[in-house]
């Protein structure tokens, strides 16, 4: 297991070693090591801290938004996709304790495992430091994502956003040209967005769906420049 000091430095928090190890213990590792505790309880706790902190921030800082718009913004930054993106940005994956089956199937890069571990780390921060420190961590993590939501106005489901906008403007069929590379246990995909006869940007990910989302997100600013 790589040293965790750098991970804590990237997150900007301190977590006591026992709690940190628990936060990084996936159930596959626990099962292979005699049924030791997993990070699932910390994940449950972190999910609550995350949801409350984001909800409180949105309520205080967007006084004119109706409940539905607040909910859309919240869902955009607490989704599995958003949390997995944050985990990748902070290089959480290499620190997760995984069983051999998950290691062989590149579990450290699976969005569900990354997102769950991110919530567990938030829970661990709360247990080690209290609510204020945990909330500060959450806001450091999600404020850049909320800024993206504010800039684009339609959340982070870029595929749906582009599909609806292209249909409204009658720009032609939206499709993604997808290629895969690498061994089966560590497959990587690249997707390129095409609308009508025009080709836009590409994105990569460990699944076709995520590669398509990344391509859509990368292409959205260009589409906005074109008045979409």
116 is in an annotated binding site: yes
Give the residue numbers marked as catalytic: 47, 119
Q: Are 213 and 81 in contact (CB under 8 A)?
A: yes
Q: Are 48 and 176 in contact (CB under 8 A)?
A: no
Neighbours of 28 (CB within 10 A): 19
43 is in an annotated binding site: yes
59 alpha carbon, distance to own chain's centre: 22
The structure tokens listed for 75 are 């869902």
Neighbours of 100 (CB within 10 A): 11
- What's the DSSP call for residue 192? E
The structure tokens listed for 112 are 């569900």
d(CA 75, CA 156): 9
Which of 155, 207, 140 is closest to 176 using CA atoms?
Answer: 207
In the annotated binding site for Mg(2+), the residues are 43, 116, 119
In the annotated binding site, the residues are 43, 116, 119
């Amino acid at each position: 297991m790589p040293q965790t000091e750098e991970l804590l430095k990237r997150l900007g928090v301190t977590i006591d070693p026992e709690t940190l190890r628990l936060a990084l213990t996936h159930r596959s590792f626990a099962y292979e090591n005699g049924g030791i505790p997993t990070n699932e309880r910390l994940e449950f706790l972190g999910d609550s801290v995350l949801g409350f902190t984001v909800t409180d921030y949105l309520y205080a800082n967007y006084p004119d938004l109706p409940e539905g718009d607040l909910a859309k913004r919240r869902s955009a930054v607490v989704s599995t996709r958003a949390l997995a993106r944050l985990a990748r940005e902070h290089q959480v994956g290499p620190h997760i304790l995984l069983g051999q089956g998950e290691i062989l199937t590149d579990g450290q890069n699976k969005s569900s495992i990354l997102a769950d571990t991110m919530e567990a780390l938030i829970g661990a921060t709360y247990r080690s430091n209290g609510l204020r420190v945990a909330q500060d961590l959450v806001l450091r993590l999600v404020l850049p994502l909320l800024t993206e939501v504010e800039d684009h106005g339609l959340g982070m489901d870029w595929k749906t956003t582009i599909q609806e906008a292209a249909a409204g403007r009658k720009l032609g069929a939206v499709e993604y040209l997808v290629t895969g590379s690498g061994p089966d246990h560590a497959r990587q995909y690249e997707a390129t967005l095409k609308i009508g006869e025009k080709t836009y940007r590409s994105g990569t990910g460990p699944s076709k769906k995520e590669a398509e989302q990344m391509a859509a997100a990368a292409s959205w600013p260009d589409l906005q420049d074109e008045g979409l």
